[in-house]
Amino acid sequence: MDEGRAQRRAVSPRLWLAGGWLLLALLAAIFAPLVAPQDPLAQDLMLERLPPFWMAGAEPGYWLGTDSLGRDLLSRLIFGGRIAFIVAFAAAIAACLVGSMLGLIAGYFGGWADRIISRIVDVWMAFPPVLFAILLVAVLGTGLSSVILAIAIIDWTRFCRVIRAETMGQSRMDYVENARIAGYGRIGIMLREVLPNVVPSIVALLSLEMGIAVIVEAILSFVNLSISTDDPTWGGIIAEGRLSIHQAWWVLVFPLITLILTVLSFSQFGEALKTRFDPVLR
């Protein structure tokens, strides 16, 4: 118990840092046209490969420097955040809805429902996820909705496996038996009694999945299969940075820092939320 409380106290500053970064990045993405110092698409070969502001040769107004086409890196990162957050929220929520529902059904009803769902999960787990994602986007065609759909199709199993196991545990508890004796229907018990008790796990996984979705989107843009090439994406900037790594390291460093901070924040946020909601630790 003491350890749990100590853990909770230790988690707090991390929660603030993680939440702070996510809020900052999200607000910047939402108000991108107002915050971005430059047009993210404007090319100017006179301004190509400008270094970040503290280095010799930097231009005012181009804080993080420019890429090999003279486009402002900071503005591209801010606009790239729009795609990243849209994909993170939409894909994670879609994967969560499908996976949690199937997990609840498999865990609560057991029997054939469980056998069929678990077999499908087994098949899904036998695919290398990145290859599966690339394959799906190639099939669905590049574009924002394809990326979101592909991530949801692949990652629902994460929710399904965890929620299935948790639901199985909850279903054996006394309160479920009591509800049954009290005459509630099975679907009613599943949704009204069991579901609220697995919500902490769902929320924690949801936050984790948002981080994963951001990475998958970056990987897809990296292999040039995400959305149209015009709009800046974090993965797309990284792909450019990888190519010009010896001439302009900043084009790789800044999107990389942005991605790492975002992924770490989503996972820390998830952990902290789980601890906060967990009745045992509370």
Q: List residues near another protein by CB under 8 A.
A: 119-120, 122-123, 125-131, 134-136, 138-139, 141, 211-212, 215, 218-219, 222-223, 225, 238, 242, 245-246, 249, 252-253, 256, 259-260, 263-264, 267-268
For residues 104 and 189, give the distance between their C-alpha atoms in angstroms, rounded to a whole number: 11
């059904």: which residue's tokens? 105
Cβ of residue 208: shortest distance to another protein, in angstroms?
9
Helix, strand and coil content of the chain, in percent to the nearest 5, comes to 75, 0, 25
Determine whether 269 is exposed, middle or buried from the number of CB atoms within 10 Å of its CB (0-12, 13-18, 19+): buried
Cβ of residue 14: shortest distance to another protein, in angstroms?
10
For residues 103 and 32, give the distance between their C-alpha atoms in angstroms, rounded to a whole number: 38
Cβ of residue 44: shortest distance to another protein, in angstroms?
26
Rank residues 104 and 238 by Cβ distance to another protein and give the closer one.
Answer: 238
For residues 227 and 145, give the distance between their C-alpha atoms in angstroms, rounded to a whole number: 9
Written as six digits, the tokens of 121 are 């999960």
Instruction: Give the contacts of 59 (CB within 8 A, at least 6 positions apart).
Output: 47, 50
Rank residues 37 and 129 by Cβ distance to another protein and give the closer one.
Answer: 129
Cβ of residue 32: shortest distance to another protein, in angstroms?
23
Cβ of residue 39: shortest distance to another protein, in angstroms?
27
- Give yes or no for a contact between 221 and 144, defined as CB atoms under 8 angstroms apart: no
Cβ of residue 260: shortest distance to another protein, in angstroms?
6
Rank residues 40 and 255 by Cβ distance to another protein and give the closer one.
Answer: 255
Instruction: Give the contacts of 259 (CB within 8 A, at least 6 positions apart).
Output: 214, 215, 218, 234, 238
Rank residues 125 and 187 by Cβ distance to another protein and give the closer one.
Answer: 125
For residues 277 and 260, give the distance between their C-alpha atoms in angstroms, rounded to a whole number: 26
Cβ of residue 268: shortest distance to another protein, in angstroms?
7
Rank residues 30 and 123 by Cβ distance to another protein and give the closer one.
Answer: 123
Written as six digits, the tokens of 212 are 């994963």
For residues 82 and 64, give the distance between their C-alpha atoms in angstroms, rounded to a whole number: 19
Rank residues 195 and 213 by Cβ distance to another protein and give the closer one.
Answer: 213
Rank residues 101 and 134 by Cβ distance to another protein and give the closer one.
Answer: 134
